A and B are shown apart, each in its own frame.
Chain A
C-alpha cells in the first residue's frame, strides 16, 4: 500500500515541480511575437501546402511581416486571403494585379508547326525570320528558335516535349524582356487576372491562316466572338480578332463560340464545376423544401 502512495506522491510532486518550473521559465523567456504574424497565420488556409515557397503557413506569415514577402503567394487562399492580409499589413491589395507574358501563337510547338523548309542557320528568331519571311508557312507565327526563352532571366519560360513555349506565371515578373526579344511581336504582357486570350496573331485571310497553322487553331476572323461578347471587348482588326483587356470580364463566351479554338479559356472547367456545384446546391434546397412540404401536409389534414 505504501508503494502505491509513494508512487502517486512522487510522480505528482515531480509533475508539479516541473510544471511550476516551466511556467516560470515561459514567463522569464517569453518571446514577443508580432500580433500581425498571428493574425495573418489565422487568415491563411492552414493547409501548409508550401505553394508560397515557405515551409508552412506560419513561416509564410512570418516572412510577410518580417521580410516583406509578397502577400499574393498563397494559391489556395486566393483573392480573399490577399485582401485580408493587405488590410492587416496596411498595403493595398493591388499587388495581386501583375502582368505576365502571353504568347499569341499556339501552332502546336516545333514538332507540329508547318514549315516551308528546314531552317539550319543561326539559332535565333531574328535570323530565322529574315530567310524568305521565316521557315514556317504562317508568316505571323512563332518560328521556335526560342529567343524569348533565352531572354527570360527568371526561369519563367520553358519548352515542353512538343517544342511549345510554356510560361510559368509564378516566376514571371512581367519584365517584358521576352516581348522585346520576339521579332514577330507575339508576346504581350497582360494582367494575370485576365485569363481568356486569343492565341493567334495571323493577319492572313481565314482560308490561308487556317491552312498555314499546324494546330488548326488560327483566327479566321469569322467575327462570331465579336457578336457574342457581352462587353463589346473584341474587335476584328485586319483579319484578326483582338481582345480589349480593359473590357474583358473573363466570361469565356467567345471561347465557346470560336469555331477554330483560337480563343484560350483555362477557366472553362472551373466555370463548369461552379455551375454544377450551384445546380447541386439548388437541387438540394429544392429537395429539402419538398420534404418539408410533404411533412407539413399531413399535419394540415
Chain B
C-alpha cells in the first residue's frame, strides 16, 4: 500500500506540482509550436510520453551500470544526449512506418524532441533525485503525461482563440503567450498541495 501511495504522490508531483512545462519551464518550444491543433498536440504528447519513458529507462541503466562503476559520471550529459537522440531517431522511423499521418502532422517537431530539454531534464532529474529503476521509469512516464496534459489544454484554448474576436495586435503569438502565462499561474496553485 505504501508503494502505491508513493507512486500516486509521484504522479501528482510530476503532473501537477512540478509540471515540466509550467513549473520547471522545460520544453517550451513544442509547448508553443505544436499547440495550434488538438490532433497534433495529442500526437506530440504521445511521442513525448514514449520518448521520456524510454529515455528514463535507458539513461538510468546507462548511468547506474556504466557511468557509476567506471567513475565517469561527468559524461552524464553527453551520454544522455546521445541516448535520447538515438531513441528519437528510432521513434521517428517507427512512426513514419506505422503511422504516416501522425508523422506528417508532427512534422519538424519530432526531430526537435532530440534537443528537447524536457527529455534531457527528466533523465538528469531522475539521477539527481536518486530514484530507483522503477521510480525513474514512472517519473519519466508521469512527466510525459504532465507535458501532454498541458499541451492539450493549451491546444484546446488556442483552437478556440482562433475564432475569438481579438484586437489585431493581440492575434496569434501575443495572446498565446498571455494564455501560457495564465496557465503557469493556475498551475502555481498546485504547489500548495499537501499530503
Instruction: Name the contact of A18 in the complex, choosing from B71, B72, B83, B96 (C-beta under 8 A).
Output: B83
| B103 to chain A: closest residue by CB | A31
- Measured between beta carbons, the chain A residues less than 8 angstroms from B107 are 55
A25 to B92, CA, bound (A): 10
Q: How far is the CB of B90 from chain A (nearest CB, A)?
A: 5
Alpha-carbon separation in the docked complex, A124 to B94 (Å): 60
Interface SS of B by simple majority: helix
Cβ-defined contact, A14 with B79, below 8 A? yes
Do residues A31 and B97 form an inter-chain contact, with CB atoms below 8 A? yes
Known contacts A14-B62, A14-B82, A15-B82: does B72 contact A29 (CB below 8 Å)?
no
List residues of chain A with CB within 8 A of the CB of B96: 29, 31
Segment among A5-13, A94-102, A264-272 that sits at the interface with chain B: A5-13
Asked if B168 CB lies within 8 Å of chain A CBs, one says no
A25–B100 Cα distance when bound, in Å, is 16
How would residues 98 to 121 of chain B score, 1 for a CB under 8 Å from any chain A CB and 0 otherwise? Answer: 001000000100000000000000
Which residues of chain B come closer than 8 Å to A18, judged between CB atoms?
Answer: 82-83, 86
Q: Complex Cα distance A16/B96, Å?
A: 24
At the interface, yes or no: A120 with Cβ under 8 Å from chain B? no
Known A18-B82, A18-B83, A29-B96: A10·B72 in contact at CB below 8 Å: yes
A55 to B90, CA, bound (A): 25
Write the B56-90 contact mask toward A (1 if CB under 8 angstroms, else 0).
Answer: 00000010001100111001001100110010011
Q: Convert A223-251 into 0s and 1s, putting 1 for each residue whose CB lies closer than 8 angstroms to a CB of B.
A: 00000000000000000000000000000
A10 adjacent to B83 (CB under 8 Å):
no
With contacts A7-B75, A10-B75, A29-B97 taken as known, whether A22 is within 8 angstroms of B82 at the C-beta atoms is no
Q: A29-B97, A31-B97 are in contact. Are A14 and B71 (CB under 8 A)?
A: no
Q: Which residues of B contact A (CB under 8 A)?
A: 62, 66-67, 70-72, 75, 78-79, 82-83, 86, 89-90, 93-94, 96-97, 100, 107
Chain A: residues with CB nearer than 8 A to chain B? 3, 6-7, 10-11, 14-15, 18, 21-22, 25-26, 29-31, 55
